[in-house]
Amino acid sequence: MTATRDSSLATAVELRAVHKVYHRGTQAVQALDGVSIGFATGSFTAIMGPSGSGKSTLLQCAAGLDEPTSGQIFVAGDDISGMDERRRTALRRDRIGFVFQAFNLVASLTAAQNVELPLRFAGRRADRAEVARALAAVGLGERAGHRPSELSGGQQQRVALARALITRPDVLFADEPTGALDTKTSREVLALLRLLVDQQAQTTLMVTHDPVAASYADVVIFLKDGRIADRMALDPADASRPARIAAQMARLEA
Ligand SMILES: Nc1ncnc2c1ncn2[C@@H]1O[C@H](COP(=O)(O)OP(=O)(O)OP(=O)(O)O)[C@@H](O)[C@H]1O
């Protein structure tokens, strides 16, 4: 399949010398300690590392949910580090998609109404065909009228994915997207993420603790103590990917 997205920019997200310091009482915690990295347009990156290594902080800063203490962050070529909150909110709404471990669907709304929400927030009239296409793309064409309580966990996460992608964001950020799912359902959601990358060149950054989940990506970035400790490019033909990733995690946690 060929990419349908405008891939004119080679780098979808770039961090330059990003530091993030949290203050806890008199203590300063360096959550990110000079991270410089680019994420290629149309690529699927997994971010791994021991607990407290800075994974969520990296994702939150790159997605404009949190501000770095210093350094620059570019999303689709725009420097978001200096943006005021109003512009960052607009950027998150229009150009960034999120999925989290908790599906965060609105319980009283149907799947289709949940998927429509970002369009409504952007002041756009929801086109029914567009919403139907988004649900069909995640395999839920027949479930548009169902409420979250009438859907399985995997189906709810797929609705969340359709909702994240309805605005055709430059980047999809996923924080432990399969953390609440059983093994089989996790694999289905990961295969879907992979398909979206392959068919639509959807740039995707995913934080995960699971080596099998990470093995669906093109590349794994390992963090330790707020720094990039390693980068592993993955060959889809190599069946030992999960084992290699797990071995590297064990080394970092030692
Ligand atoms: N809001 C905050 N206030 C103070 N310290 C924080 C805050 N958020 C994160 N930290 C600290 O920053 C460091 C990095 O945290 P972060 O959540 O990014 O790590 P992580 O790799 O995602 O961890 P985990 O795998 O446990 O979720 C940790 O030492 C954490 O305690």
34 CB within 6 A, ligand 1: no
Is the CB of 22 inside a 6 Å radius of any atom of ligand 1? yes
Please provide the DSSP assignment of 60-82 as one string: HHHTTSS--SEEEEEETTEE-TT
- Distance from C-alpha of 21 to C-alpha of 29, rounded to nearest angstrom: 5
Note the pLDDT of residue 82. Answer: 81
CATH class in words for 11-253:
alpha beta
Q: Measured in angstroms, how far is the CA atom of residue 128 from the centroid of ligand 1?
A: 40
pLDDT at 8: 65
**CB distance 54 to ligand 1 below 6 Å:** yes
State residue 126's pLDDT score: 78
Mutate to test the pocket of ligand 1, among 22, 210, 223, 225 (most ligand atoms within 8 A of CB): 22
| 254 CB burial (10 A radius; 0-12, 13-18, 19+) | exposed
Residue 73, CB-side half-sphere exposure with 13 Å CA sphere = 27
- For ligand 1, is residue 29 a contact (CB within 6 Å)? yes
Give me ligand 1 centre to Cα 221, in Å.
17
Q: Is 52 in the pocket of ligand 1 (CB under 6 A)?
A: yes
The reported pLDDT for the residue numbered 2 is 40
Question: Backbone phi, then psi, for 242, in 5-degree steps?
Answer: -60, -40
Give domain limits for the chain. 11-253
Query: In the chain, what's the furthest Cα-to-Cα distance?
Result: 55
Interval 49-105: pLDDT, tens: 999 999 999 999 999 999 999 999 999 889 998 888 899 888 888 899 999 989 899
Predicted local confidence at residue 103, as pLDDT: 87
Quote the ipTM score: 0.97
Q: Is the CB of 45 under 6 A from ligand 1?
A: no
pLDDT, one tens digit for every residue, the chain (254 residues): 444 444 567 999 999 999 999 998 899 999 999 999 999 999 999 999 999 999 999 999 999 999 999 999 999 889 998 888 899 888 888 899 999 989 899 999 999 999 999 988 888 887 889 999 999 999 999 999 999 999 999 999 999 999 999 989 999 999 999 998 999 999 999 999 999 999 999 999 999 999 999 999 999 999 999 999 999 999 999 999 999 999 999 999 98
Give the CB-side neighbour count of residue 36, counting CA atoms within 13 A: 4
Task: Measure 56 CA to ligand 1 centroid, in angstroms.
Answer: 7
Q: Sign of the CA dihedral 169, 57, 189, 146? A: negative
For position 98, what pLDDT does the model report? 93
